[in-house]
Structure formats: structure tokens, C-alpha cells
Amino acid sequence: MDWKAHLDETSANLAEFRRTHDAAGKGFTAMHRGAMGEGSLTLREKEMIALAIGIATRCVDCIGFHVQGAIKAGASREDIAETIGVAVMMGGGPAYMYGVKALEAYDQLS
């Protein structure tokens, strides 16, 4: 999978949805900013938590965006690999398959 192209396409689709249903888009963005803002956890930690949940719930777009966010927040490949390990422990075999996608995304997006 070409992760950059996939995330660009998904971003375009999200922008179109926001034009169609502005209130829902703004609501989600506000929730995202609230959850990912300053607090006792670092942004890096929050991105890795979100990544683990994305892997465990099998959300390819979530994996891509949160790998990208984790990289921007300073996560290393080893950080991503450990996050995948936790997600696999929680999500079993399917999470293992999606975890591999996350490592591929890290390699392409970093």
C-alpha cells in the first residue's frame, strides 16, 4: 500500500464530508483536539495509544494517521513496534495482521 497516497485520498474524502456536514466535522475536530491536547500524557504517548486502538479495531485510516502523528511527535520505529505488540496482545491475530500494516506505514512515512 502507498500510505502517503492513501492518506492524501482519505484527507480529501474527509474534506468533502466536512463541506457536506460541517457541524459533524467541526464536532469531531473539537473532540480530537481536546483528547490530543496538553495533559499528563505526551502527544507521543497519546498517538501511540490511538495507534494501538486503530490496530485492535482494524481501522486502516486510523493506523495511517496515527503512525503519521506519532512520527511527528517523535516516536521511533521501536516505539511503533512495541505499540504493535500491545495491540496484538489485546486484539489477537487480526491485530497482528494490522500491526504489520502499521510498521509498513512507519517505514514509508518516516
The CATH number linked to 68 is 1.20.1290.10
Residue count (the chain): 110
Q: Look-up: residue for cell 495511517?
A: 64
At residue 83, the pLDDT reads: 98
Q: How many domains does the chain have?
A: 1
- pTM recorded for the entire structure: 0.94
- Nearest partner of 105 among 72, 75, 60, judged by Cα: 60
At residue 34, the pLDDT reads: 97
CB atoms within 10 A of CB 62: 17
At residue 101, the pLDDT reads: 96
Grid cell at residue 21 = 456536514
CA dihedral 27, 69, 72, 74 (to 10 degrees): 120
At residue 79, the pLDDT reads: 98
**With a cut of 50, which residues of the chain have pLDDT below it?**
none
What is the spatial distance between Cα 80 and Cα 90, in angstroms, rounded to a whole number?
15
The domain containing residue 61 runs over which residues? 3-109
At residue 107, the pLDDT reads: 97
